[in-house]
């Protein structure tokens, strides 16, 4: 049977509180209660060539993933990463990065998964900051080490492979939330109900709700 896809375009963000704009970040560069972190897939072609003044680097490959097994980093490993960055429970953490915030959004989810509060994404990411000709620095900042302790994992926002396999046998129970780089029908064919965030050509977020109805698998 043919697939039916309906796009509903939201005129406002569902959760505007998790986004900050480049102008706001520029005005708070010297705010000691804020820690800016650039999350890069390829730091050598991005962070190392210049970054927002005062921003620390979170390398997606080494800082956001387990070094041995194919998994995200553990809670203990995350606490170490944030402690090295000088983050405290009262710190407002602003994430941004390369590839239109693709990996910064991945880090955002990890932080939420482990119960880290007061985390935001800079709308537009590295691309928008540079396009607006805002301040860039090459020096690597150093902050006093802290002893950060996250709250623990929230399994309500994570789904594992076995669950997905079982759910495919009961399609009415499948509902996935995805973040994708661009809209493509080929990326949606296996999902019954998807709510996702996409970005436009400038790298800023566009919220979409997609209802993908299937009559049979």
Q: For 8-21, what is the mean pLDDT? A: 76
41 contacts 103 by C-beta, under 8 angstroms: yes
The yes-or-no verdict on residue 58 having pLDDT over 80 is: yes
What is the DSSP pairing of strand 193-199 with strand 205-213?
antiparallel
CA atoms of 40 and 46, how far apart (whole Å): 7
202 contacts 124 by C-beta, under 8 angstroms: yes
Position 13 scores a pLDDT of 79
Give residue limits of the domains in the chain: 4-11+157-213, 16-154
Quick: pLDDT tens for 102-141. Answer: 999 999 999 999 999 999 999 999 999 999 999 999 999 9
The yes-or-no verdict on residue 201 having pLDDT over 60 is: no
pTM: 0.75
Position 164 scores a pLDDT of 77
Give residue 94's region: left, alpha or beta (phi > 0; psi -120 to 50).
beta
Domain covering 16-154 in this structure, CATH number: 3.40.250.10
């Amino acid at each position: 049977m043919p697939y039916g896809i309906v796009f509903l375009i939201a005129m406002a963000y569902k959760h505007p509180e998790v986004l900050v704009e480049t102008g706001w970040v520029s005005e708070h560069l010297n705010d000691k209660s804020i820690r800016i972190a650039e999350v890069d897939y390829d730091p050598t072609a991005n962070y190392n060539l210049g970054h927002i003044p005062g921003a620390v680097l979170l390398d997606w490959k080494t800082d956001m993933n387990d070094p041995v097994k194919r998994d995200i980093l553990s809670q203990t490993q995350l606490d170490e990463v944030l402690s090295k960055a000088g983050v405290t429970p009262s710190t407002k953490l602003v994430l941004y990065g390369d590839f239109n915030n693709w990996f910064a959004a991945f880090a955002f989810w990890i932080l939420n998964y482990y119960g880290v509060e007061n985390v935001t994404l800079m709308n537009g990411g590295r691309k928008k900051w540079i396009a607006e000709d805002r301040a860039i620095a090459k020096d690597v900042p150093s902050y006093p080490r802290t002893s950060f302790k996250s709250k623990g994992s929230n399994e309500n926002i994570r789904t594992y492979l076995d669950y997905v396999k079982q759910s495919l046998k009961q399609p009415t129970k499948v509902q996935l939330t995805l973040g994708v780089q661009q809209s493509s029908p080929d990326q949606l064919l296996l999902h019954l109900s998807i709510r996702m965030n996409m970005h436009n050509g400038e790298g800023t977020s566009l919220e979409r709700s997609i209802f993908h109805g299937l009559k049979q698998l």
